[in-house]
Structure 1
């Protein structure tokens, strides 16, 4: 009988401890959630492309360490190096890079199975919640950068949102406006009311009449991802597209359908692109987005399609000869309107990292993408990905009065994000190979080795083989 009572008492005590422990998580203070790893001496690693948002967050990351006790080592490098290092970590299942700048096309699409599902952190009562919830993030950024096919599996939180727009020298366009109008009969002030053909005409006119610059236009036409990005603005404006399945552009798809680069709209766009590059700065075929930005900042070109976040470089007198002289507008239109290439990226967690470090990484993501931090980073040249920041009364004033360089471009960028103006490239596991075919054939075309028709028809055949469309058709 004594043994029975002792056993019963022991069971009772175990149950009591369990009951007592369970609600403790529920009443865990917010401060305790943020400081739970303070004495664990944790260091986590963020691998990112060298972008203005990462430069900005690096300048204040010590605030996160002070808040949580967690150190963050940030590595900034070229996008191709981010992709290569991420692939190596995934292949070895090392988990050494806890936080990844997850390019939607080169990392998320082909390697989404290696990323942690954000829902497990969102549903963990021992971790803080997302301030204002997921609905506060710009919808396009959230979906295009955070999901791959599965609409229930969130793989990243919006981190940056670079978008290609028309950058130009305001001083040159103002100085020569009347002379150009007298010659050509229309106002050349940049904007989506002008066509790509007019953009070409303007660039050619500047080549012939404006000694202040070496060329009217410049492009990121290096045989690399940048060439595909530059070309895509024209392709989409002319009504062309990469694949038949439109679902591939937002949520992503394993079945993108037939490649559409051999269609009339795509062929027409390619012909025009070759013509445009024939009068562009000769350095264009050796520039990616960084090279183009350096040339523009040096005062070598009058205008270009470029990622808007370089505004922080263009408006910095220490790094730019054109500070205070730069204008921003939507890209020119084609038959399908103005299409401005979105290149946003979310930040993700490596599923091979330890559970403790994954949770520490989640704390970093919450902090770095929170409204308060995004508002602070805006003043350092980063573009917010949250509605709450744009709706903030102080931010509205900052944008209105353009209190820092990035503000100069935000009016245009928010217009570029509207559904009728934005372009999203395909999100498919095959994109790395597809992208290589596209920029390789375009590069051969620009070098005179292929005609526009040959370049696109050859690309279509190769891409249909890559995706398996030819086999499915049979």
Structure 2
């Protein structure tokens, strides 16, 4: 009996040894395979292929353009790009999708993902990650900030794009101006910004203002202005049943606060887009702005900004509901209607430009990477003061800062129209909120959200 047990033990040991040896061989083979993968080899079948991307006139895209020659040299793939104003970029792509056009690299805003993925215009990332010839073993989807991959690249349970040009709302301020007014730090809350800092930093006679909130009619009004003041005050556009929440006590408090900000902002603020708000701070005409992290490189550029030595960055101010900063950004995905060769070439570009390997060159060229590792780099933290407040915002941000569903573009137009009327004083906050809410519910009702035809969240 003992001998039998001994034979069993020896047999088990032999089996484990064989299994270990087999596993080691497989592991070595896989490791060798992973080490053998190169961008150059993966791109060889697509050498000479031309693809087209949609870019914006923003620092992150200028950074990508600076890096493009390296990709083209390694792969032989030509990346053409069209620079489109943000306000026209969705329409430009939708026309391309419905007309069977030429765009291969799709730029998807956080609020377009439902429309683009829901209509089958985006190729699932799985198509490429399942292909060993195209998938870089070092891709690491879990290397992106979860809030970014979820918000900008994912619809349902499927990933359709990789985070590329991603933003947190930050407070940029002129520390010299604040110091001259007696402040040694930025406002911690929105209430402080308005009621403590605002009066001391506003000098209308000399056209100097405490703050500028970009509010031009369009997506800038609906997202960067209107939505920005809801969450910190505990409000929201919709409740958990997708009914309007704009006339709640909290939402009304946020919208009223925005109206009160008008007295410390420049005249004509409803015509300010991002460029105007950034320039107002850069030229010393306003002391503070809440803007996207991507604009740090513009404000830190001495050829574009007069306040480079005085520029400082913090998280957005907190409201009664706590720190609820704006969340924005884009992913890059592949057009599902492109040819197989162009799909592969587009994927290789997207995978490369958003990779961990390219994160540091991208940041140094003026972009904002969605990768976590790059922001642990002590050198990057020291050179780019926006990093720490941005990471703090992403770690505790607002995933549904704007609702991610296909109907958003239509709702955005409604919010932009009535939001502008509110700021101009052409309609009361209460009546404007009721008008927006009624139209929102009409649109969502027609889309089937209240009949159970569509899920409330994706």
Give 1:27 shift: 6.3
SS in 2 for 1:60: helix
Over 3 Å counting, the alpha-carbon distance change for 1:359 and 1:323 in structure 2 is same
Q: Provide the C-alpha distance between the structure 1 equivalents of 2:374 and 2:264, rounded to a whole number of angstroms.
A: 41
**CA deviation map 1:195-239 (0-9, x unaligned):** 33543442232114995x621111211112112222322211100
- Tell me the residue number matched to 2:211: 217
SS in 2 for 1:282: coil
- Tell me the residue number matched to 1:338: 323
Q: 1:270 pairs with 228, 236, 255, which one? A: 255
- Tell me the residue number matched to 1:419: 396
- Tell me the residue number matched to 1:323: 308
On the 8 A contact 2:227/2:237 being kept in 1, the answer is no
Q: Provide the C-alpha distance between the structure 2 equivalents of 1:430 and 1:169, rounded to a whole number of angstroms.
A: 39
On the 8 A contact 1:121/1:127 being kept in 2, the answer is yes
Give 1:421 shift: 6.8
Over 3 Å counting, the alpha-carbon distance change for 1:311 and 1:108 in structure 2 is same
Over 3 Å counting, the alpha-carbon distance change for 1:103 and 1:305 in structure 2 is same
- Tell me the residue number matched to 1:37: 45
Q: 1:472 pairs with 445, 450, 456, which one? A: 450
Alignment of 1:171 with 2:181, yes or no, is no
Consecutive unaligned residues in structure 2, runs of 5 or more:
1-28, 453-458
Over 3 Å counting, the alpha-carbon distance change for 1:130 and 1:44 in structure 2 is farther
Give 1:452 shift: 0.6
On the 8 A contact 2:145/2:370 being kept in 1, the answer is yes
Q: 1:458 pairs with 431, 435, 452, which one? A: 435
SS in 2 for 1:381: coil
Paired residues for 1:71-86 under 5 Å: 71-86=78-93
Per the normalisation by structure 1, the TM-score is 0.83
Give 1:125 shift: 2.2
On the 8 A contact 1:338/1:421 being kept in 2, the answer is no
**CA deviation map 1:412-444 (0-9, x unaligned):** 111111226776211111111111111211111
**CA deviation map 1:119-157 (0-9, x unaligned):** 011001221325242111110110101112x21x21101
Give 1:88 shift: 0.8
CA RMSD of aligned residues (A): 2.4
**CA deviation map 1:303-329 (0-9, x unaligned):** 111112111111111111111211111
Aligned length: 416
Paired residues for 1:198-217 under 5 Å: 198-208=193-203, 214-217=208-211
Give 1:457 shift: 1.2
SS in 2 for 1:408: coil
Q: Provide the C-alpha distance between the structure 2 equivalents of 1:142 and 1:126, rounded to a whole number of angstroms.
A: 23
Q: 1:233 pairs with 215, 228, 232, which one? A: 228
Q: Provide the C-alpha distance between the structure 1 equivalents of 2:78 and 2:71, rounded to a whole number of angstroms.
A: 8
Over 3 Å counting, the alpha-carbon distance change for 1:109 and 1:116 in structure 2 is same
Over 3 Å counting, the alpha-carbon distance change for 1:433 and 1:420 in structure 2 is closer
On the 8 A contact 2:194/2:264 being kept in 1, the answer is no
SS in 2 for 1:345: strand
Q: 1:138 pairs with 138, 145, 161, which one? A: 145
Superposed structure 1 runs of 4+ greater than 6 Å apart = none
- Tell me the residue number matched to 1:51: 58
Q: Provide the C-alpha distance between the structure 2 equivalents of 1:37 and 1:80, rounded to a whole number of angstroms.
A: 37
On the 8 A contact 1:47/1:100 being kept in 2, the answer is yes
Over 3 Å counting, the alpha-carbon distance change for 1:210 and 1:139 in structure 2 is farther
Q: 1:190 pairs with 171, 181, 186, which one? A: 186
SS in 2 for 1:59: helix
Q: Provide the C-alpha distance between the structure 1 equivalents of 2:294 and 2:195, rounded to a whole number of angstroms.
A: 24
Q: Provide the C-alpha distance between the structure 1 equivalents of 2:202 and 2:296, rounded to a whole number of angstroms.
A: 24
Q: Provide the C-alpha distance between the structure 1 equivalents of 2:425 and 2:186, rounded to a whole number of angstroms.
A: 30
On the 8 A contact 1:230/1:305 being kept in 2, the answer is no
Consecutive unaligned residues in structure 1, runs of 5 or more:
1-22, 178-186, 246-255
SS in 1 for 2:92: helix
On the 8 A contact 2:37/2:137 being kept in 1, the answer is no
- Tell me the residue number matched to 2:378: 396
